[in-house]
Amino acid sequence: MWDVIVVGGGSAGAVVAAGLSADPDRRVLVLEAGPDYRAADTPAEFRDRTRGLGMQLASPPTLRSPEFYHTGVTARRGDGHEAFSYRRGRGLGGSSTVNGLYAIRGVPADFAHWETSGAAGWGPAEMLESAIAIEDDHDFPASPVHGTDGPFPVYREPESGWGGIDRALREAALDAGYAWAPDHNDPASTGVSPFAMHIRDGLRVSTNHAWIEPARGRANLEIRGGVQVDRVEFASGRASGVRDAEGNVYRLSARGEVVLCAGAAHSPAMLWRSGIGPRAELAKLGIDAVADLPVGIGAQDHAVVFAEISVPEREQTSVGNRPTNVIVRYSSGLADGRENDMMLLATNHNYWFGQPTAGVAVSLEQPHSTGRMSLASADPRADPHFELRMLSDERDLERIRDGLVRARGLLEHDAFVSRRTGGVSAPRDDAELRATVKDTMHLTSTARMGAAGDPSAVVDPDCRVQGVEGLRVVDASIMPTVASANTLLTVLALADRFLRRAPGLGL
């Protein structure tokens, strides 16, 4: 029997498993659907910064090391869009092994909003404490808002390694009046910044490298790869273990708990199969409801549109062929946006689209639009589908429309005009914005956190699933709203925060 069963060894699961197993009296089992492998055996294509690898928005011609991806999850961005494979990382390290390497924190206004939404104790000060704790910042070691003792590196490429579009965006944005902000992870920053990555000595560091590998030798930690978890088992309203797709059951000790860390796509699907979700939806699948909760409702992702230009290949060249080394964050002041609700990204090359173009990406960092999950069956091998409903809220359309105007204006600056070989291609009206909008594979908020007893929340501020005992969820699914950034650092800080709130878990 186990004191804690952690389902998923990805970005959050690695932090949770390493933290909980630090107590030698606590027996911890990690069940991961993908491969269990040593960090040193990470495929070479995931270690460097070469373009065309990772979770790009266009499917690569050849998906190398396919065992490191979940490809069965599908999503549809909006009305008129086709469903597509919403790829997620698979195996130890999860998406931190295959993502775009971006390491940007959420902003204080995100976490203040979380608190006012019922997530007491998850405010700006608490989340900053955890962001500092996990971090080994390469560039600002003396800053009081950064850490150097954590396992996860944060590194910004110096200008000498930028591409031509990085330089053009920096120059055009500064001339347009945006401030220079050398550290976008400073809570007070806004404006033009070098974009940080989770690399050390030029190589990716995943959560498998940073957390799992140092904990490998612990006698009280067991990791099992290739285990597809079906559902959580209950006895008298309390989690008693988990059952895998082959029918094997992994039992908990009397005070033990299950912690779902399978990500914003798979954790809610496991909850549904466990009888936790909207009663009517469960009934359609022949599943008896254990707890009638809004699981799978409220899904969010960042919406992004592109203004594209053609440039000579020399302008696209950067160290590691990075698509983005410079961003511009700003507060739109429109449609209920909080601070830093928008981001412009230099795109040295549009590998996201699988196109040879360059330009500027416009990213809506604080969407109001929400989507929902569905399951075709209760079979654990049936992956979930998400209707994202991007730009369905008029407030989102207003801000992304304004962002595109800003991007087009910057592309008329001489820094871009002198580099490009033709005109600007961009959506021309609302219909084209809706037709061309993309997600960024930053799925969150499918099992949102709120105040205990809140019928719109799935978990309480201690990450406990409401209506049952012995079950918690710790991953991007519990974010009340998506953070105003690439989600990885927020997920890691969230997992650290959970460990601070539940020190006696399972004991």
Cα(31)–Cα(227) distance, rounded to whole angstroms?
6
Half-sphere exposure of 250 (CA within 13 A, CB side): 28
385 tagged catalytic: no
Both tokens assigned to 428 = 């021309």
Give yes or no for a contact between 37 and 92, defined as CB atoms under 8 angstroms apart.
Answer: yes
CA distance 463 to 352: 34
Three-state secondary-structure class, residue 488? helix
Spatial distance between the Cα atoms of 389 and 437, rounded to a whole number of angstroms: 11
Residue with tokens 């959580």: 232
Q: Give the list of residues 6+ apart from residue 49 with CB closer than 8 angstroms, or none.
A: 101, 197, 199, 202, 204, 319, 320, 321, 322
Q: Phi and psi (nearest 5°) for 436?
A: -110, -5
Determine contact, residues 449/478, Cβ cutoff 8 Å: yes
Distance separating alpha carbons of residues 398 and 153, to the nearest angstrom: 36
**Distance in angstroms (rounded) separating the CA atoms of residues 30 and 26:** 13
Q: Say if residues 339 and 107 touch (Cβ distance below 8 Å).
A: yes
Alpha carbons within 13 angstroms on the beta-carbon side of residue 13 total: 36
The DSSP 8-state label assigned to residue 60 in this structure reads P
Of the candidates 70, 146, 385, 442, the residue annotated as catalytic is: 442
* Token digits of residue 404: 């595109």
The tokens describing 56, both together, are 């790009």
Q: Identify which of 388, 386, 377, 390 has the alpha carbon closest to the alpha carbon of residue 281.
A: 377
Supply the DSSP string of 19-48, one letter for each residue: HHTTSTTS-EEEE-SS----GGGS-GGGTS
- Would you give the DSSP letter of residue 80? T
Q: Which residues are tagged catalytic?
A: 442
